[in-house]
């Protein structure tokens, strides 16, 4: 578990990394200790429309991970054009720190549904070398049922929407500690489930 002070520092480092890269194409050094899976999410303010989200599901050195995830979310998310300098003051930054993903054992779709809790569990699906990941806050934001969550997870991986029911699919769950700006460059809070 990370403290609010550490979370605040990571969010500020993520913003500074993007700002310095936009300003001078410079990569900053981050002074942060620890290892965790990490995702950086950018959202337009105040609409909360997604503007970029990339990270590392497995634990990485946060000194490198915060900067790399922030730059990737801003400039390398294939779903969006690269962030411009003018947009930076209109986005909020969120940092999600992930627990180590654990395989969910299940023998039927009904059993899988019983093992998932919306808002607590982030999910990863893997099949034939392809995978998709959704953070635990995503189904809450869209008010999805467990079935809808799994369907969107499959689609994120480029799989058929019912692939979660296939016997040869692997599904892992993880939890996340989430820190986000209330407004662009504003106060940082920990998102409680």
pLDDT score of 192:
86
Phi, psi dihedrals of residue 98, rounded to the nearest 5°: -100, 145
- The verdict on 67 and 86 lying in the same domain is yes
User: pLDDT at position 70, please?
Assistant: 98
- One domain for residues 182 and 87: yes
Q: Are residues 50 and 69 in the same domain?
A: yes
Q: What is the CATH number of the domain that holds 133?
A: 3.30.1490.150
**What CATH number does the domain containing 37 carry?**
3.30.700.20
Enclosing domain of residue 168: 102-174
- Tell whether the model's pLDDT for residue 17 goes beyond 80: yes
| Residue range 175-186, pLDDT digits in tens | 999 999 999 999
Residue 122 shares a structural domain with residue 158: yes
- Is the domain of 10 the same as that of 87? yes
For residues 80 and 133, membership in a common domain is answered with: no
Say how far apart CA 142 and CA 127 lie, in whole Å. Answer: 25
Percent of all residues in the chain with a pLDDT value above 90, rounded to a whole number: 98
* 169 and 180 co-located in one domain: no
Q: Are residues 147 and 180 in the same domain?
A: no
Q: Write out pLDDT tens, residues 60-73.
A: 999 999 999 999 99
38 and 108 share one domain: no
Summary mean pLDDT of the chain? 97
Tell me the pLDDT tens digit for each residue of 93-141: 999 999 999 999 999 999 999 999 999 999 999 999 999 999 999 999 9
Considering the domain architecture, whether residues 38 and 118 belong to the same structural domain is answered as no
pLDDT over 80 (residue 193): no
Q: Tally the domains of the chain.
A: 2
67 and 108 in a single domain? The answer is no
pLDDT of residue 123: 98
Look at residue 44 and tell me whether its pLDDT is greater than 90: yes
Same domain, 58 and 13: yes
The Cα 166–Cα 83 span in angstroms is 38
| pLDDT band of 191, cuts 50, 70, 90 | very high
């Amino acid at each position: 578990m990370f403290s609010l002070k550490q979370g605040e520092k990571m969010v500020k480092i993520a913003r500074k990394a993007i700002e310095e890269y936009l300003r001078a194409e410079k990569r900053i050094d981050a002074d942060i200790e620890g290892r965790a899976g990490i995702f950086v999410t950018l959202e337009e303010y105040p609409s909360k429309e997604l503007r970029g989200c990339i990270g590392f599901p497995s634990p990485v050195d946060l000194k490198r991970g915060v900067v790399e995830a922030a730059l990737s979310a801003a400039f390398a998310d294939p779903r969006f054009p690269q962030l411009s300098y003018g947009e930076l003051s209109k986005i909020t930054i969120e940092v999600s720190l992930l627990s180590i993903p654990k395989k969910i054992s299940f023998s039927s779709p009904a059993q899988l549904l019983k093992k998932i809790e919306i808002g607590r569990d982030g999910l990863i699906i893997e099949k034939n070398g392809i995978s998709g990941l959704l953070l635990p806050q995503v189904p809450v934001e869209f008010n999805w049922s467990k079935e809808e969550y799994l369907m969107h997870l499959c689609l994120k991986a480029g799989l058929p929407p019912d692939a979660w029911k296939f016997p040869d699919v692997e599904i892992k769950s993880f939890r996340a500690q989430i820190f986000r700006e209330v407004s662009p460059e504003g106060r940082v809070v920990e998102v409680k489930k």
